[in-house]
Amino acid sequence: MKPLKLGMVGGGQGAFIGAVHRIASRIDGHWDLVAGALSSDPVRARASASELNIAPERAYTDFIDMAAREAARADGIDAVAIVTPNHMHAAPAIAFLEAGINVICDKPLASTLQEAEAIATAVSRSNARFFLTHNYTAYPLIRQAREMIARGDLGKLRLIQVEYVQDWLTQELHNKQADWRTDPARSGAGGCVGDIGTHAYNLATYVSGLSATELAADLDSFVPGRQVDDNVHVMMRYENGAKGLLWSSQVAPGNENGLRLRIFGEKAGIEWGQEAPNQMRFTPFGEPTRILTRAGAEATPAGSRNIRAPGGHPEGYLEAFATLYAEAAQIIRADRGQATPDLESHTPDIDDGLNGMRFIAACIASSRDNAAWKALLGEQVT
């Protein structure tokens, strides 16, 4: 089957996440990058496109222009990847959705809840698909954990403990990444809570299958002069009486990308961390702890999909990211009748994006109100 054609907005020279998206799109051979508005700076846009073997006529400097012209081409792109800073998600997303082009958007969904809702409106009006790259959801053992919980292996859930802990902002720091991620104008009012807190929150609801109902949050900016939060403590309440703690931080020395999830039910628990993503502890009450491995013994159907290397050959961050691109391709092809719909996959979409934005808003509101409980209105798990 021929690869689909991908465009990209953002991700020019010096960017980080754009390169990750490109590798992810290549790994399984489902996508060819053929067009881009890689930078708002025309010189950088052209140079970046050239490096990536994008034909000059498809190296745009303006995403509005790109959406219009790609929509008009017979060989126009099948989807666009939006990899700009948060405040630059809404405008291109809406432009491509309105042009009928599928969108693969980085997270968090936007820099404000208002922008997020505007995207959601555009999604509801468009025939095109919208995918949100909550990449951690695509690790095979995360899929397996979700499936184990859904089928009752843990019993009724009681506790969801999640954390995403880094250290790179322990001190004052200035570089391209740090600058936009700590600038409220570009990242939104949330700093750490938006950048990685949303990942933690998304993973907790994604795996547990439970919506959060309310939360109490205590946010801090430990580094003097920092305008956004760099540490986030949250007490969570989920539907059906489950409770949880959520911690995200960018000022905890010794932590690189410590995303860790522990869920406990009446019958068993699971424990997983993304820095060692090919193992998961499964702890049935009253029995020895079992080490489940990616594609290993007792792998469930969901844990056995999207496997590229045998057990014991570690797959990592890029492979999980690639699974989202593979699933987007599969869904788009199925929409066109070119492939079988894959009813079992659980690719994050606009609802995950909205939930994340509501989480950010609730955390900020709660923290400003001395950690009073705030409802997560409209929260839904899909």
Site for its own copies in 240-279 (CB under 8 A): 241, 243-245, 247, 249, 251-258, 262, 264-269, 271, 274-278
Check: CB of residue 104 under 8 Å from CB of residue 79.
yes
Residues 6+ apart with CB under 8 A from 170: 223, 250, 251, 252, 253
307 binds its own copies (CB under 8 A): no
Nearest distance from C-beta of residue 272 to its own copies, angstroms: 12
Helix (H) or strand (E) holding 180: helix 176-181
Q: Which stretch binds its own copies (CB under 8 A): 99-107, 126-134, 215-223, 327-335?
A: 215-223
Nearest distance from C-beta of residue 223 to its own copies, angstroms: 9
282 binds its own copies (CB under 8 A): yes
Closer by beta carbon to its own copies, 106 or else 315: 315
Closer by beta carbon to its own copies, 82 or else 259: 259
Closest CA to 229 of 257, 201, 186, 189: 189
184 binds its own copies (CB under 8 A): no
Nearest distance from C-beta of residue 64 to its own copies, angstroms: 28
Determine which residue in the list 22, 87, 134, 374 makes contact with its own copies, applying CB under 8 A.
Answer: 22
Closer by beta carbon to its own copies, 110 or else 232: 232
Q: Which stretch binds its own copies (CB under 8 A): 111-119, 285-293, 326-334, 352-360?
A: 285-293
Check: CB of residue 280 under 8 Å from CB of residue 143.
no
Nearest distance from C-beta of residue 24 to its own copies, angstroms: 10
Beta bridge partners of 105: 82, 132
311 binds its own copies (CB under 8 A): yes
48 binds its own copies (CB under 8 A): no
Closest CA to 345 of 27, 129, 22: 129
318 binds its own copies (CB under 8 A): yes
Determine which residue in the list 283, 304, 349, 381 makes contact with its own copies, applying CB under 8 A.
Answer: 283
Determine which residue in the list 71, 178, 371, 381 makes contact with its own copies, applying CB under 8 A.
Answer: 371
Determine which residue in the list 40, 170, 211, 213 makes contact with its own copies, applying CB under 8 A.
Answer: 170
Residue 169 vs residues 84, 143, 217, 239: alpha-carbon distances, Å: 21, 31, 20, 34
Residues 6+ apart with CB under 8 A from 216: 234, 235, 366, 371, 372, 373, 374
Q: Which residue has the tokens 């079988």?
A: 340
Closer by beta carbon to its own copies, 43 or else 297: 297
Q: Which residues in 148-167 contact its own copies (CB under 8 A)?
A: 158-159, 161, 166-167
Report how far residue 107's alpha carbon sits from residue 132's, in angstroms, rounded to the nearest whole number.
6
Q: Judge residue 203's burial from the number of C-beta atoms within 10 Å of its C-beta, 0-12 exposed, 13-18 middle, 19 or more buried.
A: buried
**What is the sign of the dihedral through the CA atoms of 344, 345, 348 and 350?**
negative
19 binds its own copies (CB under 8 A): yes
327 binds its own copies (CB under 8 A): no
Report how far residue 133's alpha carbon sits from residue 72's, in angstroms, rounded to the nearest whole number.
27
Nearest distance from C-beta of residue 315 to its own copies, angstroms: 5
Q: Which stretch binds its own copies (CB under 8 A): 63-71, 126-134, 284-292, 333-341?
A: 284-292
- How many residues lie near its own copies (CB under 8 A)? 88
Closer by beta carbon to its own copies, 84 or else 249: 249
User: Between β-strands 231-238 and 130-132, what pairing exists: parallel, antiparallel or unpaired?
Assistant: unpaired
Closer by beta carbon to its own copies, 96 or else 321: 321
Nearest distance from C-beta of residue 372 to its own copies, angstroms: 9
Check: CB of residue 166 under 8 Å from CB of residue 255.
yes
Q: Which residues in 58-117 contact its own copies (CB under 8 A)?
A: none
313 binds its own copies (CB under 8 A): yes
Rounded-to-10 torsion of CA 232, 234, 210, 160: 90
221 binds its own copies (CB under 8 A): no
Q: Where are the beta strands (DSSP E) in 115-209?
A: 130-132, 157-165
Amino acid letter at 128? Answer: A
